[in-house]
Amino acid sequence: MNIVTATDTINGAVQNTGTRQVRRSELAAFLRSRRERITPEDVGLPPGLRRRTAGLRREEVAQLAGVGVTWYTWLEQGRPINASVQVLDAIARTLRLDLPEREHLYRLADVPDPATANGAIPDCPRISPELQEILDSLTTLPASIINERFDLLAWNAAYAAMWPGMVNAAPANRNTLWTVFTHPGCCHPYVNRDEQLSTLVAQLRGAYGRHLGEPAWTSFVARLQAASEQFTRLWAEQHVASNVTYLKIFRHPQHPRMAMTTTSLGVLSLPGTRMVIYNPADDGCREAVAGLLRGEGNGLHFPCWPTHGSKAGPGQKASAPLPW
């Protein structure tokens, strides 16, 4: 039995207070640095004559963002004040923050980011043309780029041939974990399903520790728990795993067994993302992938398709297998 003492409660409160203070200090330094990199000319203001520091003044940021000068000053000083989503949006636009900077601002301010709070992939370009070119150069190996939450961000032609339903899914559902835990067992693409699902949840748990309290992560886990009893059970086991090389065995309506090893490579230009490359483990699987790239097996479904095919959204191809 777990016994929570008064000392534990006090220590926890002190720790939380310390964390908030560190965040406010980081927020103050971040806002100052972003303000100082913008010149008055950048935002259509006259340069002025006597500026002691580079960049915009606090009162200019407040004016452009439509907030009170005193309030913004307190925010930049790291005082314990509340900031709404709308106000942070205005400050982000004024300071010309890009997506990573905007997410960082919301994280430091401890405010849910409306663009990611529902766990969906943000509707913005995240993958550079150079990264997509690298994916496309892997002409015979399925490959994708995903983030720590298993959102599918980019893929190549071989990946799309293997899992057409995944790439055609609605952006909010274009997520490996969501797909494999909500797909019916009768036509599930994993042959070694129990082993693979346990490993995926352990990998998510390992990443989750780096994102404690972030709304996008909290809501995503809650969404999976509401949709899948199996995920809820595996999540409660508290197992942790890293992203290394794994053997995964898939099945396709035309190919009952496709063994592949998956290798994850970190993408340094996009922190928190990795490229996952699927390498056929035998000649039979290699030939099967080549056949799918030639269009062989397109339109084939498992016998239970009439039952599950109607779940496809408007304009969505619900080809099986759906998941990654």
The enclosing domain of 50 has a CATH number of: 1.10.260.40
- Number of Cβ atoms within 10 Å of the Cβ of 3: 5
Whether 103 is in a domain gets the answer yes
Q: Say yes or no: 100 and 207 in one domain.
A: no
Number of structural domains found in the chain: 2
- Asked, for residue 140, whether it belongs to a domain, the answer is yes
Q: Is 37 helix (H, G, I), strand (E, B) or coil?
A: coil
Q: Which residues pair with 155 in a beta bridge?
A: 144
Going by C-alpha positions, the residue among 192, 299, 307 that lies closest to residue 250 is 192
* Residue 139 covered by a domain: yes
What's the CA gap between 109 and 165, in Å, rounded? 38
CATH of residue 154: 3.30.450.180
Regarding whether 174 and 51 lie in a shared domain, the answer is: no
- pLDDT for position 1: 46
Q: Which of 269, 209, 202, 190 is nearest to 234 (CA)?
A: 202
ω before 321 within 30° of 0 (cis)? Answer: yes
Q: Are residues 259 and 195 in the same domain?
A: yes
Q: What is the reported pLDDT for 120? A: 45
**pLDDT for the residue 18:** 65
Is residue 323 in some structural domain? no
| Structure-token match 């409160």, residue found | 13
Q: CA-to-CA distance for 284 and 5, rounded, in angstroms?
A: 60
> Which residues fall within 8 angstroms of residue 189, CB to CB, at 6 or more apart?
163, 180, 183, 250, 251, 252, 320, 321, 322, 323
Q: Do 204 and 176 fall into the same domain?
A: yes
Q: Is residue 20 part of a domain?
A: yes
pLDDT of residue 185: 83
**pLDDT in tens for each of the 324 residues of the chain?**
445 555 444 444 444 566 778 888 888 888 998 899 888 888 777 776 566 667 898 999 999 989 899 999 998 888 888 888 788 888 989 999 887 788 788 888 877 655 544 444 444 446 888 999 999 999 999 999 999 999 999 999 999 999 888 888 888 789 999 989 988 888 888 888 888 899 999 999 988 888 777 778 888 999 999 999 999 999 999 898 877 778 999 988 889 999 999 999 999 888 889 999 999 999 999 999 999 999 998 778 888 877 765 454 433 334 333 433
Residues 87 and 161 in one domain: no
pLDDT score at 118 = 44
Q: Is 131 left (phi over 0), alpha (psi -120 to 50) or beta?
A: alpha
Indicate whether 279 belongs to any domain.
yes
Does 322 fall in a domain? Answer: no
pLDDT of residue 317: 39
Q: Are residues 145 and 97 in the same domain?
A: no
Place of tokens 């290394």: 244
Contact call for residues 242 and 101 (beta carbons, < 8 A): no
Per-residue pLDDT, 131: 93
Question: Can you say how many angstroms the Cα of residue 104 is from the centroid of all Cα atoms in its chain?
Answer: 14
Within this chain, do residues 139 and 104 fall inside the same structural domain, yes or no? no
Domain that holds residue 20: 6-109
Nearest to 266 by CA among 216, 207, 209, 324: 207
pLDDT value of residue 42 = 83
The residue among 48, 77, 109 that closes a domain is: 109
Is residue 117 one of the residues assigned to a domain?
no
Question: What span, in angstroms and rounded, lies between the C-alpha atoms of 196 and 189?
Answer: 11
Cα dihedral across residues 72, 77, 81, 83: positive or negative: positive
| pLDDT at position 102 | 83
The pLDDT value recorded for residue 111 is: 75
- With beta carbons less than 8 A apart as the criterion, state whether 179 and 173 touch: yes
Q: Which residue has the tokens 């886990």?
A: 221
Do 137 and 264 share a structural domain?
Answer: yes
Chain-centroid distance of CA 20 in Å reads 24
Q: Measure CA of the first residue to CA of the last residue in the chain; give whole Å.
A: 40
Distance in angstroms (rounded) separating the CA atoms of residues 58 and 76: 9
**Whole-number Cα distances in Å, 229 to 118, 195, 236, 287:** 20, 16, 11, 37
In sequence order, the β-bridge partners of residue 262 are: 246, 278
Residues 180 and 99 in one domain: no
Question: Could you tell me how far CA 157 lies from the centroid of its own chain?
Answer: 22
